[in-house]
Chain A
Amino acid sequence: MTISQPVKRQLWTILGFALAVLALSGVLHNDYYQLVLTQVLLWAVLSLAWNILCGYSGYFSFGHAVFWGLGAYTVALGMLHLNLTPWITIPLCAVVGGLAGALIGFPTFRLRGHYFALAMLAYPLATLYVFQWLGYQEIPLPMKRKAPGLYMQFSDPRVYVGLALGLLVVSLLISLKVENSRFGMSLFAIKQNEPAAEAAGINTWRWKMLALMLSGALAAVAGGLYAVVLLVVTPEAVFGMLVSAQALILALFGGVGSLWGPVIGAFALVPLAEVLNAQLGNVLPGIQGVVYGVAIIAIILCAPEGVYWRVRDRWGRSPVQAAPPAPSAMIAALPRARREPVGDDLLVLKDVSIAFGGLRALEGVDLAVPERGLYGIIGPNGAGKTTLFNVINGFLAPERGTISFAGRSLVGLRPSQVCALGIGRTFQVVRAFPRMTVLENVIVGAFVGASDDAAARQMAEVALDRVGLSGRANALAGRLTTRELRLMELARALAPQPRLMLLDETLAGLGHDDLDGILGVIRQLPADGVTVLIIEHTMQAMVQLVDHFSVLDHGRLIASGAPEAVVRNHEVIEAYLGKKWAEQVTEAAK
């Protein structure tokens, strides 16, 4: 495997950082400074662990103390009851933390946003009370006068610095690996737009669970080492709000979602708090908290996204440089399907119905889309078009009716599974991942059809080539024009080489010139073997584009047939222009 340039640079940075910390530890001839340095490193690990879930996937946790605490108690109770050395129990913490992550994630990932964040708050606090109830108010780690090293009890504090540093380096390497793999990119996609990620075939559930388990495992290991350093474990000290808050303050302060943010946060804030305690705590008790509070507010007002991002935006290079794009001629053309006449029905809906709180969004919809057809659905706003797509690709489950794709039922499948079967989709409002490059956006879409990351990259490049966007491969998605965004979304849906594409108002909001380019791309799709189902609310473009037409109104299909026939249909005109108009048109026709 080759290591890309930016990753190499990061590896050197990590090495340099580790050496710097070792040098610092060597220079400090003061046990107190060594102790604080150890704590800085441990809190950095917790914050990095937090960052793996919360920074990359955007799922905030206010309860990472639960992992930290379980780790600390694993070590303390293991030593107290079973006389187990931390050399065994600390690695075991990874298992405990991972399992806890799985147990917590399983129910909690039903929730999103603030609900998820606040639900996470409940776990450490509920656990705290349980540990008190069990009688584990104060667990001192027994002092081992014989063979202290065997029990990780060293008289030289530099050994703890070394252990904590080792753990931090491992955490940094894990984070780096995550960032530069399918794992991290999937999390990143989830953070920016979870439904889009799911529709692009990413099994969001699986990645989120993995992230929480990994995050929990790292946090628990750090908590275990913390117990060895502190030597006394109490429920408040390891499950308390202060721990959860520390994880998040350090990362938010340093820069969420970055490799170095949590480390910066820990190296800035932990010593700051300590210095304030030392200098002011006995002079005017309380003032240290006030100064600390003022300091973090002042800094965050200057750098709302965290120090790392602020510094990078001001002095840094442009965001992650991807390798120069391969010229499109060098990419082997995909075997394209032979041009064939319209085939058998690929997608069949029968009697599909769904309601939202009494409002019937879809009512008895029957639809049959032939293979390699270019099939359009129009309808006024609120007719249920997007709902229809949501039902097909699994965002919503129909209350009634069947949906089959190439003979397979889609009802009950997750969007990512639907995508994996070969159904791609775009969105009415483009759901791009704005902080990723165009190529990365498309790679995310290609994962579902690719065996490995390299294949995904190649498929993405092919797809970009197909829509004519190769030249913009390294631009940030957030900087694209509307037309380019639509094309990028098309490419993302095309990348895994789907059999059916669901296009949701792809043409909306485009000017005349832009329209032509996109129409050309869409027209080419059936020729390449891709079936297209497109929804629009304006008739004009559709009439030019599709070869079969259905009209949706108030959740029902009211007309179906060749475009020219449908536009003359009385009901259609009524749905679009109102009853009065319909009558006038009929009058005029007479």
Chain B
Amino acid sequence: MTEKLTRRTVTRGLALTAGALAMPAIGRAQGKSVKIAMIVPLSGPWARQGQLLRMGAEILQDDVNKAGGIKALGGAKLEIIYADAGDSTEKAKNAAQRLLSDQPDLAGGTGCWLSSFTLAVTEVTERASLPWVTLSYSDAITDRGFKFVFQTSPTAARQAAETLPTAMKLAKSATGKEPKTVGIIMDNTASPVSFAKPLRAGGLDKLGLKLVVDEIYTPPLSDATPLIEKVRSNRPDFLLLLTSAMPDCKLVLEKLDEFKLSHGKVPLVGNGAPLGSPELLKTIGPELLDGLLFSVANWPFKGQEAFIKRFIKKTGEPFLTQDGLCGYGQPAILVAAIEAAKSADRIKVAAAIRAMDLTTGQAAQCFPGPIKFDEKGRRVDVPMIFAQWQKGVPLTVYPTELALAKPFWPTA
């Protein structure tokens, strides 16, 4: 057991767990497991994301249990209970209510990837005082004054505030001059909409950027010709691409290539995990993606190399992305809170999350910046992560201390 632990990248967590081991296991009888819920879309149009999250969570459960379970509770086994959020908010909400009724001793939960599902599910969990950790980053989730919801991703507004300056800095260092004009192509789902809102409301002016193309479409896109035609006729210095679905990314990228705007002629900056998905690579190939820079709430970074390898080996995925990583990291936050609270009581677990300030350990390893939440349930001091496609792999390039590769600004 010890040998296995040392092999793990999360050895820094040992300090914490050792402390926990020293404490006598009180209350909980051996053999009784600690239950955490994961509600994600396993069927329906978003099934892919849900299944990636589940892969991550399964690895975590293995890791925790092989390492001796929850130390503070006398080595109680971790049990993650999965429920399918399906294709509608109603199904997601029902799943939450069902888990709460069937599993009265849930210690916490995580999910649901799609922000509208998360909104519905947290309406249930909040009323049951169940701590809920989510990667959905719609501002509405933590704007409701809820006490038991914890958002690991920076809010859309913060993502927007950080993405453009970073991109412009990079452009300036590569080309010597600051971009003056920008185009926005985005879909109208909740995340891109809340991302772009502060930009249009003065955010761009502050950066001295002129918005020359501003197109919002309803996904799924049927054809990108009229969109890219506008890019062609207005030629922004760079293009901001905010899409929440991989098929739309494909149409836009291929159309840019067809219109001779790819390969650095109009550099692309994106936001959102779909831009770094293996399936995008599979459908359009590495060459067209090269240089595509995107900001994302979380992406595999320095220090996780061993975990990345393990994930790839276990799942057969070509590389690790945000979903697999968060699938592992979010239950890990709950585990850390249970350890800290020395209890699986949901109120105590929630209190432990609120009091949390982790920079080391299994959970902290999975997220950039400290794991520390403000009174709204948003993480504080979260650096924005940037990844860039380089030779067929999207690699973290910012912040520099977490980077796995050096960024470059594509030029024609």
- Residues from chain A with a CB closer than 8 A to the CB of B83 are 278, 281-282
Bound: A133/B190 CA distance, A: 11
How many residues of chain B are within 8 Å of chain A by beta carbon? Answer: 39
Q: Are B82 and A282 in contact (CB under 8 A)?
A: yes
8 A Cβ contacts from B113-172 to A: 115-116, 119-120, 123, 126-127, 138, 140, 144-146
Q: Which of A26-34, A321-329, A380-388, A457-465 contacts B (4 or more CB under 8 A)?
A: A26-34
B233: Cβ under 8 A from any A Cβ: no
B84: Cβ under 8 A from any A Cβ: yes
The one of B90, B127, B189 that contacts A237, using a Cβ cutoff of 8 Å = B90
Q: Which of B61-69, B92-100, B292-300, B323-331 contacts A (4 or more CB under 8 A)?
A: B92-100
Q: Are B43 and A31 in contact (CB under 8 A)?
A: no
- Residues from chain B with a CB closer than 8 A to the CB of A138 are 115-116, 119, 138, 140, 190
B42: Cβ under 8 A from any A Cβ: yes
B89: Cβ under 8 A from any A Cβ: yes
Q: Are A143 and B146 in contact (CB under 8 A)?
A: yes
A137: Cβ under 8 A from any B Cβ: yes
The one of A30, A155, A230, A277 that contacts B101, using a Cβ cutoff of 8 Å = A30
- Residues from chain A with a CB closer than 8 A to the CB of B119 are 138, 140, 232
Nearest A residue (CB) for B81: A282
Q: Which of A285-293, A337-345, A435-443 contacts B (4 or more CB under 8 A)?
A: A285-293
Q: Are A135 and B91 in contact (CB under 8 A)?
A: no
- Residues from chain B with a CB closer than 8 A to the CB of A274 are 94
Bound: A155/B101 CA distance, A: 14
Q: Are B101 and A32 in contact (CB under 8 A)?
A: yes
The one of B84, B120, B146 that contacts A281, using a Cβ cutoff of 8 Å = B84
B360: Cβ under 8 A from any A Cβ: no
Q: Are B120 and A231 in contact (CB under 8 A)?
A: yes
Bound: A240/B98 CA distance, A: 24
B283: Cβ under 8 A from any A Cβ: no
- Residues from chain B with a CB closer than 8 A to the CB of A137 are 116, 188-190, 193
- Residues from chain A with a CB closer than 8 A to the CB of B193 are 135, 137
A35: Cβ under 8 A from any B Cβ: yes
B25: Cβ under 8 A from any A Cβ: no
8 A Cβ contacts from A11-66 to B: 30-33, 35-36, 39
Q: Are B126 and A281 in contact (CB under 8 A)?
A: no
Nearest A residue (CB) for B85: A281
Nearest B residue (CB) for A33: B101
B51: Cβ under 8 A from any A Cβ: yes
Question: B168 to chain A: closest CB distance in Å?
Answer: 27
Question: B58 to chain A: closest CB distance in Å?
Answer: 12
The one of B43, B82, B97, B218 that contacts A288, using a Cβ cutoff of 8 Å = B43
Bound: A277/B96 CA distance, A: 12
8 A Cβ contacts from A135-193 to B: 135, 137-138, 140, 142-143, 155
A497: Cβ under 8 A from any B Cβ: no
B16: Cβ under 8 A from any A Cβ: no
Q: If A277-B84, A277-B91, A282-B83 touch, does A143 touch B126 (CB 8 Å cutoff)?
A: yes
Nearest B residue (CB) for A141: B123
- Residues from chain B with a CB closer than 8 A to the CB of A231 are 93, 120, 123
Bound: A237/B119 CA distance, A: 13
The one of B43, B50, B93, B190 that contacts A289, using a Cβ cutoff of 8 Å = B43
Given contacts A237-B89, A277-B91, A281-B42, 20 further A-B contacts (CB under 8 A): A39-B94, A129-B218, A133-B188, A133-B218, A140-B144, A143-B146, A231-B93, A232-B89, A232-B123, A236-B88, A278-B83, A278-B95, A281-B43, A282-B83, A282-B84, A285-B42, A285-B51, A285-B84, A286-B43, A288-B84
A-B contact pairs, 10 of them (CB 8 A): A31-B97, A32-B98, A33-B101, A137-B190, A137-B193, A143-B144, A232-B89, A232-B93, A240-B88, A278-B98
